[in-house]
A and B are shown apart, each in its own frame.
Chain A
């Protein structure tokens, strides 16, 4: 026990050094960008899906729900093949770059944003839409208002997407390569430190991940403001 404590203490200065700051910053940059992109694409799509009732809608909802269970390693593998030197997207030169990691996380987070937004919007009373229409709202104004009323669920979608991005390891490891100072993020660093047997550092990095998730969720809870009418 005493040995383990000594071991952890010895590595604190290294853990808190510039490498840690680089890892933390890249984690926030990659996860933040992927969540921003998936929200920009996913919230309008989820709203449309939540308000639509056409024939392809049930199939699309099924596909989105399946997307939530997408295995990260499969996403990583497909993306790796596409971006590799012999792949069709090799010309982008994104393999083993943060851009590839953003794309991987975007693909994994997008179904969460669409699916949860769709559920939140579809949970609004059906009469709300008719009431807005009868008050003279255009389809665009109806979407805006319904989205605002469903904001609690939409924020939950963003939080879930951030959690998914932050905790993802398989895909970013495959397409990022875990290169020190370039593509190493908190999750891949945890894998590396665990492999090296440096459990203290790995645990500290894991705790940092948890703290980030906590801070993000606290921010989202604060953004909720007053609860919407329809709960």
Chain B
């Protein structure tokens, strides 16, 4: 593990008007780890991911990437190319599935889009048959897989996933988890995975964190988080007793 963490957040707060969406005192994410962010709807998981992806600026505080502080969209381009965020609601462009998956690749190179890479990732996610389909004809789950393919084809060093399996059936959830495990085994990648699914967090997370009302309650290794949570609120959440 490197001395410098992949991400380090210090006294980070994000407000929209008077509403505090995220208020994190300290969070350290190591390179190559898989961190699952658990929390109910509206806990601030998506906002935290957007701050990590540098598509939004914190109201106050520092978000450090490999030791360097950056300000929202002022992230250097070469660093930005190493981080990709997959949104909870797939944001696809008009046109075909192939065009969408190739979009990020085309931004990075003036050369013609490497079709083989696009075809390979579509094949890997089991959606090769959708390559020429117009995205407006896709189901929610298919759109989510396309958004994931568009991120994975870029081979980022950091992949931020916001409920990437929310619209998928159990078979496809298993497929996505398997693909991401294979990607992580093949290529060192830092995964930050927001979910409200306890079982999924237990399956995929090396470390798990709980967010409640924008505050990070606890972060611990997955087995400790689920077996011996330090905070009573984590225990209540894990045992399904939390009413919010």
Looking at the complex, which of A66-74, A188-196, A223-231 is the stretch in contact with chain B?
Answer: A223-231
Contact A130:B55 (CB < 8 A) given known A135-B107, A229-B135? yes
A86 at the interface (CB under 8 A from B): no
Partner of B154, one of A133, A135, A141, A228: A135
Residues of A close to B83: CB separation below 8 A: 134
Q: Who on chain B is nearest to A230 by CB? A: B94
Chain A proximity mask over B45-89: 1 for CB below 8 Å, otherwise 0 = 000001001111000000000000000010001001101110101
A141 in contact with B107 (CB, 8 Å): yes
A229 in contact with B136 (CB, 8 Å): yes
A149 at the interface (CB under 8 A from B): yes
A125 at the interface (CB under 8 A from B): yes
B91 at the interface (CB under 8 A from A): yes
B103 in contact with A135 (CB, 8 Å): yes
B207 at the interface (CB under 8 A from A): no
Chain B proximity mask over A45-57: 1 for CB below 8 Å, otherwise 0 = 0000000000000
A127 in contact with B91 (CB, 8 Å): yes
Query: What separation, in Å, do the CA atoms of A149 and B53 have in the docked complex?
Result: 23
A145 at the interface (CB under 8 A from B): yes
Q: How many residues of B contact A (CB 8 A)?
A: 29
Chain A proximity mask over B80-117: 1 for CB below 8 Å, otherwise 0 = 11011101010111100000000110011000000000
Chain B proximity mask over A67-93: 1 for CB below 8 Å, otherwise 0 = 000000000000000000000000000
Residues of B close to A226: CB separation below 8 A: 94, 134
B13 at the interface (CB under 8 A from A): no
Q: How many residues of A contact B (CB 8 A)?
A: 20
Q: Write the nearest CB–CB distance from A140 to chain B, whole angstroms.
A: 11
A125 in contact with B91 (CB, 8 Å): yes
A137 in contact with B107 (CB, 8 Å): yes
Residues of A close to B108: CB separation below 8 A: 136
Chain B interface mostly = mixed
Residues of A close to B54: CB separation below 8 A: 133
Contact A135:B89 (CB < 8 A) given known A130-B56, A226-B94, A229-B136? no
Q: Who on chain B is nearest to A229 by CB? A: B94
B93 in contact with A134 (CB, 8 Å): no
A131 in contact with B80 (CB, 8 Å): no
A131 in contact with B107 (CB, 8 Å): no
Query: What separation, in Å, do the CA atoms of A145 and B92 have in the docked complex?
Result: 11
Q: Write the nearest CB–CB distance from B126 to chain A, whole angstroms.
A: 22
B154 in contact with A136 (CB, 8 Å): yes
| Interface members, chain B 159-197 (any A CB < 8 Å) | 160
Residues of B close to A130: CB separation below 8 A: 50, 53, 55-56, 85, 87, 91
Residues of A close to B92: CB separation below 8 A: 229
Contact A134:B53 (CB < 8 A) given known A127-B87, A127-B89? yes
Residues of A close to B81: CB separation below 8 A: 136
B136 in contact with A134 (CB, 8 Å): no
B94 in contact with A149 (CB, 8 Å): yes
Partner of A128, one of B80, B91, B134: B91
A135 in contact with B136 (CB, 8 Å): no
A: residues with CB less than 8 A from B are: 125, 127-128, 130-131, 133-138, 141, 145, 148-149, 226-230
Q: Could you show 19 A-B contacts with beta carbons less than 8 Å apart? A: A127-B91, A130-B55, A131-B87, A133-B53, A134-B55, A134-B83, A135-B84, A135-B104, A136-B77, A136-B80, A136-B108, A136-B154, A138-B107, A141-B107, A148-B93, A149-B93, A229-B92, A229-B93, A229-B136
Beyond contacts A136-B108, A229-B136: 15 other A-B pairs, Cβ-Cβ < 8 A, are A125-B91, A127-B89, A130-B50, A130-B56, A130-B87, A130-B91, A133-B55, A134-B53, A134-B55, A134-B160, A135-B107, A135-B154, A136-B77, A227-B94, A230-B94
B: residues with CB less than 8 A from A are: 50, 53-56, 73, 77, 80-81, 83-85, 87, 89, 91-94, 103-104, 107-108, 134-136, 150-151, 154, 160
